[in-house]
Amino acid sequence: MPKSMNVSLLFSTGFCVLAAAWSGCATVSPQASIVRTTPAPAVPSTPAAPSTPAALEKSCANGVPAACGSLGGLYMQGAGVTKDEARGAALFEKGCTGGDAQSCHGLALCAADGLGVVQNLNRARILHEQACLGGYAESCGPVAMSYINGREVSPEDEERAVLLFERGCKGGNAPCCHAAGVMYTQGVGVKKDDGHAARLFAEACEGGHAGSCHVDNIVQITDAVSRLEYNSKWQRICDQAVCFFQSAYKSPPPFHLNNEREASLAVQVTPKKPSDTLEKIVAHEVADIRKTLELVDYLEEDGHTPQDNIAVYSMKLDGRDVAFIKYRVIGTEGKRAPMPFTVIHGLVAGTNQIGFVHLQTYFAGHQEQVRADQLLIMKELLKHLE
């Protein structure tokens, strides 16, 4: 079953493609775009011999930093000991201070989520960078994204992000390889080098990052989508993994004061197994929506019958079956939008790829035009999907 691929945020610097590439970089905008990515684990698992709590306690006391980190992981998980997040975070800190990079990663996750310590995102960033530079590749993605996921991103920030993505790639982190490939393709933070980007994509593919394995085809698709003549006005960013569109129509007062827009739309293409039918993919998506999003009452009188506030319907498009998932949402747990908005996910399937066309409508001023554009893009995807 393909990984859920709903809309990534449009970062102010245009790096929505990297959010899709590296799953730990989700953020929330004032309009709380729907971001459903695979979350990082709350704590790392740090196996180190000896592995029993008593033995790890002794080794930690004798100055073995990795043992402190391993014991911290057990306390965070409540594995063989009584769960104690404060104790776990303290042990991560002891291991990190002693030079164990994975302990620094664990402490960074604690600082990011407020587990056993006061939440401190700046401290989390510093610790992730310390872990990355210390050789723990899983920390390189989060800290690299932090350099380019901001309102004011400098050329130095972009250069630092490339360095950290490449460091994570060399450490065996496939999503970092893909993200570095995107940077080289765009020529952001580094001189444009399509040859090196291709090598990075190949390395990411070999490392298990499926989205890197069809780059040539996805480039063809996004190029075709970017050339379409649209019914509505959009500000458009397209790249290897995604095309993101932000409505050029501003929201009505008073929401326009924060530069809010009427709608946003995103296009993504991901691999699928030949055995995954459109019905199975839709069921998987609906289950994920219910698990991760906070829905509100389905109020639209559109002829569709919702079940528990989600409407699923299908139609023929150029003789092919396509499906839609429609609902109204206020956000995710702890990350609410100022007001509910409508989401329509359009799904089209090839033999080896699935295309998603995600439409989020915040205000209804031009909804007929934006929904027509969703269908237009879905027709284009059907021509190109493998």
- What confidence tier does 334 reach under pLDDT thresholds 50, 70, 90? low
**Of the segments 10-19, 22-31, 265-274, which one has the largest average pLDDT value?**
265-274
Q: pLDDT for 207-256, tens place per residue?
A: 888 777 777 777 778 788 888 899 988 888 776 667 888 888 877 776 55
**Residues in CB range of 180: below 8 A, 6 or more apart:** 162, 165, 166, 169, 200
Q: In the numeric block, which tokens belong to residue 34? A: 């729907």
- What confidence tier does 345 reach under pLDDT thresholds 50, 70, 90? very high
DSSP per-residue string spanning 265-330: EEEEEEE--TT--HHHHHHHHHHHHHHHEEEE-----SS---BTTEEEEEEEETTEEEEEEEEEEE
Helix or strand (DSSP H, E) at 148: helix 140-148
Domains of the chain with bracketed CATH: 215-384 (3.40.1000.10)
Task: Select the more confidently predicted residue: 48 or 131.
Answer: 131
Q: pLDDT for 184-209, tens place per residue?
A: 887 889 998 888 988 898 898 888 88
Name residue 292's beta-bridge partners: none
Query: Over pLDDT 90: what percentage of the chain?
Result: 46
- What confidence tier does 50 reach under pLDDT thresholds 50, 70, 90? low
Mean pLDDT value across residues 112-132: 93
For residues 369 and 356, is the Cβ–Cβ distance under 8 A?
no
Distance between CA atoms of 313 and 382, rounded to whole angstroms?
A: 18
For residues 164 and 129, is the Cβ–Cβ distance under 8 A?
yes
**Residues in CB range of 54: below 8 A, 6 or more apart:** none
